[in-house]
Amino acid sequence: MIAIMSFARNVTVGLLFSTCGVALASELPSIKIIATGGTIAGAGVSSAQYEGYKAAVTPVEGILKSVPEIGSLATISAEQVLQVASQDLNNDAILKLAKRVNQVLQSSDTDGVVITHGTNTMEETAYFLNLVVKSSKPVVMVGSMRPGTSLSADGPMNLFRAVATAASPDSHGRGVMVVMNDQIIGARDLVKADTMTVDTFKSPVFGYLGFVVDRKPYFYQAPSRKHTLHTEFDVEKLNSLPSVGIVMGYQNDMPIVVESLVSSGVQGIIHAGAGTASVSKFMLPAIVAARSKNVHIVRVSRSSSGILVRNMEFDDDKYGTISGDTLNPAKARILLMLALTKFNKVDDIQRVFDTY
């Protein structure tokens, strides 16, 4: 279990302007910034050195001081809900975050939420929130690839653009979005594609929702899969999530990995197979044994893009497995966890993957 930090303080940031040409504070939308850590809250040993930097060391107040201009976009309040590098997030943490986001959005005093988050697992948290947030108000996630102490740190501009997006009436009803590098990407389609560059996030199959120019988002498409208010998932009464693991398919892959996960008590396994999520002759007996113990198996591709439909290169009907559509392994795990909070039949879980 990781230590989850929750601060009682709710920092209201005095960044409002009333000079000529800038909207009065009373006319601005109210945006809550929820901080969770990550590189955007990181610090390095020097301004020109990436090696040795530490994530999640700067509190939200410090992040906001680097972007006083956001006070011209919205009335800002901020709250530190977590303070971790995103690879250290667990199920308890994302449940905590989702419940807090829903609480904040219920308030008539809040017009939208911006979540600062590490990039390593941002796509997982974004997709989880996309499925369980119960509001049409904008929820925008943002992070950075360079710590705030770096030359040309990308965090301040990313945060400015994220607030601009969350404050826009055009952002309502579009599900959870990620704004980085001036691009707006839907949570379901978001992929971290590069380990270092500031344009790391891509939507390789379906494209961007839009772009942010200066103080305004420009949208060109909307998500077609169900999200937020239109999903069947509700985490309000959940205290835990089902255990789901991921297994990679490769030449000479070893069934002991599946067997170990089953022995540990998982309720589901994502099998990230080669090509069209093929299952090797080495792995098949372990898959069959797992199904005999009612462990659900979802097949997705280890490839970076492409669709996987039922019975493609593998007899899902015969073996009782589920096809994962276009989801990557990490997101398929998120969806399977939520599906298992409601269903135990293959047909029901397959419907979930076909819907979301």
Q: Each residue of 72-91: pLDDT tens digit?
A: 999 999 999 999 999 999 99
pLDDT of amino acid 16: 42
Q: What is the pLDDT of residue 43?
A: 86
Structure confidence at residue 149 (pLDDT): 86
Asked if the structure places residue 4 within a domain, the reply is no
Q: Same domain, yes or no, for 184 and 300? A: no
Tokens describing residue 69: 């201009």
Q: 13-31: per-residue pLDDT in tens? A: 444 433 334 445 569 999 9
Q: Name the strands in the sheet holding 268-273, side by side, starting at the edge strand that comes first in the sequence.
A: 244-248, 268-273, 296-301, 322-323
Q: Are residues 44 and 163 in the same domain?
A: yes
pTM assigned to the model: 0.92
**Are residues 124 and 86 located together in one domain of the fold?**
yes
Q: Are 239 and 334 in contact (CB under 8 A)?
A: no
Active-site hit among 12, 19, 36, 39: 39
Interstrand relation of 244-248 and 139-142 (parallel, antiparallel or unpaired): unpaired
Whether residues 203 and 121 share a domain: the answer is yes
Residues 307 and 338 in one domain: yes
pLDDT value of position 3: 41
Q: What is the pLDDT of residue 153?
A: 94
Residues 80 and 132 occupy one common structural domain: yes
- Give the per-residue pLDDT at 24: 53
> What pLDDT score does 65 carry?
95
The tens-digit pLDDT sequence of the chain (356 residues) is 444 344 434 455 444 433 334 445 569 999 999 999 999 999 876 677 666 778 989 999 999 999 999 999 999 999 999 999 999 999 999 999 999 999 999 999 999 999 999 999 999 999 999 999 999 999 999 999 999 888 899 999 999 999 999 999 999 999 999 999 999 999 999 999 999 999 999 999 899 999 999 999 999 999 999 999 999 999 999 999 999 999 999 999 999 999 999 999 999 999 999 999 999 999 999 999 999 999 999 999 999 899 999 999 999 999 999 999 999 999 999 999 999 999 999 999 999 999 99
**Domain of residue 119, residue span:** 11-230
Tokens of 147: 């710590």
CATH number of the structural domain spanning residue 163: 3.40.50.1170
| Three-state secondary structure string covering 310-356 | CCCCCCHHHHCCEECECCCHHHHHHHHHHHHCCCCCHHHHHHHHHHC
pLDDT value of residue 25? 54
Q: Is 1 part of any domain?
A: no
Does residue 3 fall inside a structural domain? no
- CATH number of the domain where residue 324 is located: 3.40.50.40
Same domain, 213 and 256: no
Backbone phi, then psi, for 177, in 5-degree steps?
-125, 155
Q: Give the C-alpha separation, 173 to 128, whole Å.
A: 16
CB 43 within 8 Å of CB 53: yes
Check whether residue 222 and residue 269 sit in a common domain: no
Distance separating alpha carbons of residues 166 and 148, to the nearest angstrom = 22
Residue among 338, 300, 344 at smallest CA distance from 322: 300
What pairs with residue 323 in β-bridges?
299
Q: Among 112, 221, 202, which Cα is nearest to 164's?
A: 112
Q: Specify the number of domains making up the chain.
A: 2
Question: Is 231 noted as a catalytic residue in this protein?
Answer: no
